[in-house]
Amino acid sequence: TCALPISPYLRPVYQELAEQCGELTILLSALTEQNRQWVPDVRELPVVLQRTFSVTQIWKHPSGFAEAGTLHVPYDTLPRLMRYRPDVVIAGEMGFRSLQAWLYTLVNSSCRLVLWAKVSDVTERGRGWLRRTARGFLARRASAVIVNGKGGSRYIEGLGVPRSRIYAIPQTTDLRALSALPVEKDGADRKRLLYCGSLSERKGILPFLRCLARWCSANPSVGVDLDVVGHGTLRDSLENLPRPGNLRLTIRDNVAYEDLPGVYGSAGLYIFHTLADEWGMVITEAMAAGLPVIGSRFSQAVEELVQDEVTGWTFHPDREDELLGVLDRALYTPADELTQMGRRARAAV
């Protein structure tokens, strides 16, 4: 039972489940989302669209961003489970659909409930007591809880779930095309910065550009290229932000998923200034492509995968001076050393 459309990342997971399980049914709340530009591919997958009412809500985070999203409330989960009689229910998120899945386990005591908690202790800062109480009630009654990494484990343990019932399964995707890219870069490409993702407040791309402009002003002899690939409300703000002559900014709209290897292959360093991410698949992709990462510690993927001065550099996005120091180290690192870091990044991921 899923809240979100089936992304290019998740499709191979469901294909594998469909092959391994005797029978699989995917209950999906919605086929599209207002903040996702891709069209989900559900061909050959056993998808059933649920009866759902949806409301727009604003996520306000202590880090200072506000982001509009959609809350889906599927009201037919329990009747459908009664009809399908599954042995295991994997319930995405910890809301009304998960509550109905738990109620089904009371009717069918042989069924096991697994919660898929796409959260971290950073993303859930500032959540109200009611949500936390409801989540704790459900999580403590699940047979197992899947999280992405340490941040998710910390949050779920804080709800009173024993560590023995928490399973860290990091998100990934098919990395073969990215891993086939050459790690060695020519000339200026070795220090070309890349960001892929939504141009939203939560991703922190605007404060990153301000900080990078400040660094470039203080280092006028260093030319810096930043490629931004994505779509969002901040595009005009990024284009109109004052910047020194030694900082060149290129902004491109979203590219097709299958064209991403070419985007990563043209860069030398990856930047991720997110203010809250329960994972960050771009980190997995960038490291597979052999790019050292300049990454925010508010991303669980950065916390799990990026090692300072080995596969990249980490920083707290709410500490600008810390990021300025990271930019100093990264942009003055010799090209051959960056190549070695890229090799270590690929090996690590």
Q: How far is CA 58 from the centre of its chain?
A: 19
Q: What's the Cα-to-Cα distance from 31 to each of 5, 43, 242, rounded to whole Å?
A: 5, 12, 39
Q: How far apart are CA 14 and CA 8, in angstroms?
A: 11
- Residue count (the chain): 349
Residue 1 has pLDDT above 80, yes or no: no
With cut-offs at 50, 70 and 90, classify the pLDDT of residue 31. Answer: confident
Residue 271 in contact with residue 331, Cβ under 8 Å? no
- SS3 (DSSP) at 328: helix
Cα first-last separation, the chain? 29
Q: What percent of the chain has a predicted confidence (pLDDT) above 90? A: 74
Confirm if 59 and 69 have CB atoms less than 8 A apart: yes
Report how far residue 328's alpha carbon sits from residue 143's, in angstroms, rounded to the nearest whole number: 47
**What is the pLDDT at residue 310?**
97
- Residue 5's pLDDT band (boundaries 50, 70, 90)? low
Closest CA to 294 of 237, 250, 333: 333
Residue 103 DSSP SS3 = helix
State the average pLDDT over residues 227-235.
94
Q: What is the pLDDT of residues 41-75, one digit of tens each?
A: 787 888 888 999 888 889 899 999 998 888 888 99
pLDDT (mean) for 315-330: 97
Say how many CA atoms lie within 13 Å of 247 toward its Cβ. 21
| Residue 333, both tokens | 């690192």
Provide the 10 A C-beta neighbour count for residue 214: 17
Q: What is the pLDDT of residues 264-304, one digit of tens each?
A: 999 999 999 999 999 999 999 999 999 999 999 999 999 99
Per-residue pLDDT of 182-228, as tens digits, reads 999 887 788 899 999 999 999 999 999 999 999 999 999 999 999 99
3-state SS of 294-315 is: EEECCEHHHHHHCCECCCEEEE
What is the spatial distance between Cα 286 and Cα 345, in angstroms, rounded to a whole number? Answer: 9
Question: What's the confidence (pLDDT) of residue 190?
Answer: 81
Phi and psi based region of residue 309 (left: phi greater than 0; alpha: psi -120 to 50; beta: remaining): left
Sign of CA dihedral 26, 258, 336, 194: negative
119-176 pLDDT, tens digit each: 999 999 999 999 999 999 999 999 999 999 999 999 999 999 999 999 999 888 889 9
CA–CA gap between residue 320 and residue 34 (Å, rounded): 31
The answer on pLDDT for 35 being more than 80 is no
Rounded to an integer, what distance in angstroms lies between the CA atom of residue 328 and that of residue 179? 28
